[in-house]
Structure 1
Amino acid sequence: MTVTVNVHQAKTHLSRLMERAHAGEQIILAKAGKPYALLGPIPPSATTRRPGRLAGEYVGPEILLPLPEELLDAWEGS
C-alpha cells in the first residue's frame, strides 16, 4: 500500500511513518502537493554470499599438506 503525506505531516508523525515503512509500506512525501521523496523499506543486502564465487581463484591444497620437518621442528621448539 502506498500513502502520500505532506512534509508537515511527515515531520509531525515521522516515527509512525518510519514504522510503516519498515513494515514494507511505501510513503510518498509531498511538497506543495507534488511528490517529492519516497520513504520505504531498505531492500535486502545485495552482497549476499554466493557459493563458488571464488572458483578458480584459489589453487592448490597447500594448507592440507604436512609441514616440512624444519618448519615442524621450529614450530615445536626443537
Structure 2
Amino acid sequence: MLSAVELKHEVGAEIDIVAQSLSARPPIESEVRDEVLRILEIVRTEVEGTTSASYLRALGSVVRFVVDETAGGRYDA
C-alpha cells in the first residue's frame, strides 16, 4: 500500500495529466471544461493540505470520477 506522501504525488500527477489533457484537446464545451478545471484545483488544494492516506485515496477517486463523467474516460490518468 502506498504511503500518504506517495499518494499525494500520485493524485497530484493525475490532476496534472487530466488538466493538461483537457486544456490541450478539449472534448467538451468550454464552460464545462472550465468547471472541471475549477473542481480539479479544489481537489489539488485538498491534496496539498492533507496527510491522510484514506482521504488521498478518496480524492484520487474523485479525479477519476470527474474524468469518466466529463470526458468519457478518454483521459486515463
TM-score by length of 2: 0.25
Question: Which structure's residues are more often helix, by fraction?
Answer: 2
Question: Which structure's residues are more often strand, by fraction?
Answer: 1
Say which structure, 1 or 2, has more relative contact order (CA 8 Å, 6+ apart): 2
TM-score by length of 1: 0.25
